[in-house]
Every structure is written in C-alpha cells, then in structure tokens.
C-alpha cells in the first residue's frame, strides 16, 4: 500500500509551556501549580500517585523554596530564552505547525490582576512572530496543566466557580493579543485527566476538598466545561475564522479476554474515557454518566443557563493524545501495567516502553476510526511519541532507532485510517525537543528528535543536538509521508 497524506496535512510537534519554558520567576511570572511539583529520585517513576503527594504543608514549603534543582519545571529547557534557536531546528525539520501553551501565570501572575503583565504578553508576541517568520503555524492550548498556585490555595482551584471568570479574562487577553497569529486553539489539555491528577489538572488540594476529592473533581470539571463553552463563544465572536478544539487523553482499552464480563468492564472504561469529549462535541452530558454520578451520590452544582451554554457552544475539531493502549479484565489476578497515569491490564501481544506504556500503533488507527465515527468532526493528533532514555555516543551522535520505529509504525496506521475515510487535519509529535516529563518531573524520559544536554537535576550545558530521528522526521515531512 502506498501511504498517502492530504497535501495540506499539518506535520509538526507539540510542547507545553510549563515543561519547556523555565524562567519561572522572571519578568513578573507568578507561581503556578507546576512550580511546586518536585522530582523525587527515590520514587518509582512508573507508579507515581499524585494525590498522596499533595498536602497543604508540602505545597507551602515548596512555594517558599527558591532552589530549582528538585523543581525541574522551574528551569525547563530554558525555551523562554532559547526559543529562536529551537524554532530554527523545527524549521529545519520542515514543521508546518507547532503546538504550544500560554502560561496563565505569565499573563496574570495570581489570576486576580485587573490588567495583564505586559512582559508576559510581549513574550508570546515575540514567540508567535518568530514562528510565523519561519513559516510555522502556531497552535495554542489555553490550559495545559498550569494555573496560578494562589487560586489553588484560595478556592481549591477549579472547584471554585470564581475561577471561570478569572480564566475568561485570561482568554480574552489571549484572543485579543494573539488572534491575528493563531487559527487552531484548544481549551483544556486532556480534559478527562482531573480524576487522575486533580492538582495538576485543576489545582485541587485534597485537604481543601471537604466533600472528598471525587466530588471536587466533578465540580471542577463542570466549571471547565462551562469555561470551554465560554471560550469557544468568545473566540468565535472575537476572531472570525479561528477554530476551537477539545483535547482528550485517548485511553483505548480492549477486553483482556472474550469473557463477556471482561468486555463489559472494558466498555465501561471506554465510555468513561469518551464521555468528556462527548460533552464538548455534543454539548450535553451523556445520560449514562449522569446516572452513574447519581448512583455515587455526586451532585454537581450547576447554575441556570450552564447547560444551554454548553449546548450552544461546541467545538470545531477534536484533538487527542495517543501513546499506548491497555486491556481490562474483571480477574483480580490479571497482571497490570502503568501507562500515561493509568493502570491497565498487560496485553500479551504488545511490547512496553521502559515506563511500562504499551506501544500499540494499530490502536491509533482504531482510535481514529472510533473518534471520527462517533464525532463526525475533523480530528487532530496533537500528542504521540515514545519516552525513552537516549545514549550519546562519543562523537555526539544519538542513534534512536527505537523512536524511529515507534513513529514509523504509528504513521503507517495513521495513513491507513485516512485511507479508511477519517478526516485528519494534522499530527504534532509530543516533545519534538527533549523537555521535562509531566508525570515524573524528570529529564531522562526523553521524547525529542532534538537532544538537550541536561540531566534530572538540571545539570548540563543545555546544548541542543540532532538525533537520528531528526533527519528521519525531516524526510517524512519533506515527502509528506511517502518516505519513511
Ligand atoms: C500527556 C501530557 O498526557 O503526556 C503531556 O499532555 C505529557 O504534558 C505527555 O508530557 C507525556 O507524559 P510524560 O509524563 O511522559 O511526560
């Protein structure tokens, strides 16, 4: 089969500001929920549980700490100062698009300021201008695991309804300032993730969640749905022609066996995963989810007009991250393995990364077909990649054939899905340059085509160098996927 991608297919890469920018306390930036997340070398990076680590006392101590060694997101890879050099490398690979996020705390350090911080506003003007000058289209996530820490302390993050208004002030600034550069926007990164890491996704602190973290998560999520609808409405009014998307962690799950109970447990998992984008695409809560919440005694507080607003302001395209798949079983003995902040049952047909994530290229085709059939909206794969340790040879070269193999296999399945009839706008690989890992706050889990000389403790020259995969991806883009 000859692989074919549409002639206007948007090849590129994706970054999150909090994982790459650094400059955590420069030019008026405020403390964010990411600046207090520590790298814990002694903790098994495969089995991280955020919840047990988040305490008020711990957060306050971290906020008072000025060292950056154990808070790697404070220094990132210094993209804040080196973005020109990095964009040159993306241009060399032929990127058509680069997904970035805008840090709320750079524009509104505590969230409460009446006017935005001008130095923060100017930084993103410089960044988008530099992208445009290189022919790279910016794609923007408004909320990528980052919010003012002060809002976590004052109102338990997104649990407080007041956060919606503060976030809309930030969105308005973004659309007014950057609408002229950006066509593709998205609201919340991995909108489904609040239950898996409440503090990272929504600034939720267990001790402040008097009715329990579960209830807090659903309340926060409802506020994020309302904010998503308001943001879509505002974008469409302020920037004609711009598109608002939603973003899901696609956690495709297969039954471990064909035993019907395994299939039923799998169906539950998949329906739960899709329910978040269901709200943003169809404009309503799935009835089965509402029933489930009722059974669990979770009452979401809604204001009059919320549901109408959500119904009337749905998204224009659907984007998702895809790294791995998993299986489900009702058997307590089924062996489990981690993968993107979830635990699933090990699939004997798949290989796993060093972090336990099960590589499944066919699962990408499966997910694309499933999502397109369900939503009938254009899709965008905005994250995909392999976290691995790389070895630098004596001559400085890095032979990452494992990464090339991962991408090649996924691209083949992506092309097959397009051939099946899926409308796919583009693909942005995760972390095209090595950045700090979201879940482990570590540097040694690398995704990039570009190597960054820095270790888990922030030591290194920060020099950038091209891995073998750099030349390979350049060729893929140059030939629009014909040569892999
Ligand atoms: C996605 C997140 O879930 O996974 C990214 O949106 C993250 O922010 C990526 O970096 C990979 O996860 P990790 O933990 O390996 O960095």
Whether the CB of 383 sits within 6 Å of ligand 1: yes
In a domain, 315, yes or no: yes
Q: How far is CA 28 from the centre of its chain?
A: 25
Whether the CB of 429 sits within 6 Å of ligand 1: no
Over its C-alpha atoms, the chain yields an Rg (Å, rounded) of: 21
With a cut of 60, say whether residue 51 has pLDDT above it.
no
Whether the CB of 192 sits within 6 Å of ligand 1: no
Nearest CA to ligand 1 atom 7: 438
Centre of ligand 1 from the C-alpha of residue 272, in Å: 20
In a domain, 216, yes or no: yes
CATH code at 124?
A: 3.20.20.80
In a domain, 4, yes or no: no
Centre of ligand 1 from the C-alpha of residue 457, in Å: 19
Centre of ligand 1 from the C-alpha of residue 437, in Å: 6
Centre of ligand 1 from the C-alpha of residue 305, in Å: 34
In a domain, 484, yes or no: no
Ligand 1 pocket check: which of 73, 340, 385, 433 to mutate, most ligand atoms within 8 Å of Cβ?
340
In a domain, 35, yes or no: yes
Residue 306 · residue 313 · CB < 8 Å: no
* Domain range enclosing 242: 10-478
Structure confidence at residue 42 as a pLDDT band (50, 70, 90): low
Task: Give residue 211's pLDDT.
Answer: 95
In a domain, 87, yes or no: yes
Centre of ligand 1 from the C-alpha of residue 45, in Å: 13
Six-digit token pair at 378? 């254009």
pTM over 0.95: yes
In a domain, 139, yes or no: yes
Q: Which residues are catalytic?
A: 190, 383
Q: What are residue 109's phi and psi, to 5 degrees?
A: -55, -35
Whether the CB of 387 sits within 6 Å of ligand 1: yes
Residue pLDDT, tens place only, 279-338:
999 999 999 999 999 999 999 999 999 999 999 999 999 999 999 999 999 999 998 888
In a domain, 3, yes or no: no
With a cut of 60, say whether residue 48 has pLDDT above it.
no
**DSSP-assigned states of every residue in 46-71:** TS--HHHH--HHHHHHHHH----TT-
- Average pLDDT, integer, range 48-74: 85
Provide the domain count of the chain: 1
What distance in Å separates the CA atoms of residue 11 and residue 140, rounded to the nearest whole number? 15
Whether the CB of 76 sits within 6 Å of ligand 1: no
Whether the CB of 442 sits within 6 Å of ligand 1: no
Q: Ligand 1 atom closest to Cα of 387?
A: 15
């Amino acid at each position: 089969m000859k692989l074919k991608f549409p002639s206007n297919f948007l090849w590129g890469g994706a970054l999150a500001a909090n994982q790459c920018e650094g400059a955590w306390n420069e030019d008026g930036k405020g403390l964010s929920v990411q600046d207090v997340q520590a790298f814990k070398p002694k903790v098994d990076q495969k089995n991280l549980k955020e919840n047990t680590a988040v305490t008020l006392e711990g957060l306050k101590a971290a906020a008072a700490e000025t060292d950056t060694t154990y808070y790697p997101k404070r220094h990132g890879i210094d993209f804040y100062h080196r973005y020109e050099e990095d964009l040159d490398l993306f241009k060399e690979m032929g990127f058509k698009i680069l997904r970035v996020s805008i840090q709320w705390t750079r524009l509104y350090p505590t969230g409460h300021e009446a006017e935005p911080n001008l130095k923060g506003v100017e930084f993103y003007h410089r960044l988008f201008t530099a992208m445009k000058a290189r022919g790279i289209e910016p794609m923007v996530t408004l909320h990528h695991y980052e919010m003012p820490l002060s809002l976590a302390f004052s109102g338990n993050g997104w649990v407080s309804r007041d956060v919606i208004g503060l976030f809309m002030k930030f969105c308005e600034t973004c659309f007014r300032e950057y609408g002229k550069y950006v066509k593709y926007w998205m609201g919340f990164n991995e909108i489904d993730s609040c239950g898996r890491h409440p503090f990272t996704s929504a600034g939720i602190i267990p001790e402040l969640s008097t009715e329990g973290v579960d209830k807090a998560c659903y309340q926060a999520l409802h506020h994020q749905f309302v904010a998503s609808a308001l943001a879509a409405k505002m974008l469409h009014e302020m920037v004609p022609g711009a598109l608002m998307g939603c973003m899901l962690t696609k956690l495709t799950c297969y039954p471990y066996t064909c035993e019907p109970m395994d299939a039923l447990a799998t169906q539950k998992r998949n329906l739960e995963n899709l329910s978040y984008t269901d709200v943003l695409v169809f404009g309503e809560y799935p009835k089965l989810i509402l029933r489930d919440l009722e059974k669990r005694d979770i009452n979401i507080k809604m204001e009059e007009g919320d549901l109408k607003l959500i119904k009337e302001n749905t998204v224009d395209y659907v984007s998702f991250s895809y790294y791995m798949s998993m299986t489900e079983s009702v058997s307590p003995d089924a062996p489990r393995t981690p993968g993107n902040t979830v635990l699933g049952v090990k699939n004997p047909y798949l290989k796993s990364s060093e972090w336990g994530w099960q590589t499944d290229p066919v699962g990408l085709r499966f997910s694309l077909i499933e999502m397109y059939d369900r939503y009938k909206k254009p899709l965008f794969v905005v994250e995909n990649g392999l976290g691995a340790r790389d070895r630098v040879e004596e001559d400085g070269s890095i032979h990452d054939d494992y990464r090339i193999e991962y991408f090649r296999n996924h691209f083949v399945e992506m092309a097959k899905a397009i051939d099946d009839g899926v409308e796919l706008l583009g693909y942005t690989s995760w972390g095209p340059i090595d950045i700090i890992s979201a879940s482990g706050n570590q540097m040694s889990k690398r995704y990039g085509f570009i190597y960054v000389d820095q270790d888990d403790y922030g030591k290194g020259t920060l020099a950038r160098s091209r891995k073998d995969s750099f030349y390979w991806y350049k060729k893929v883009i140059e030939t629009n996927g014909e040569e892999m």
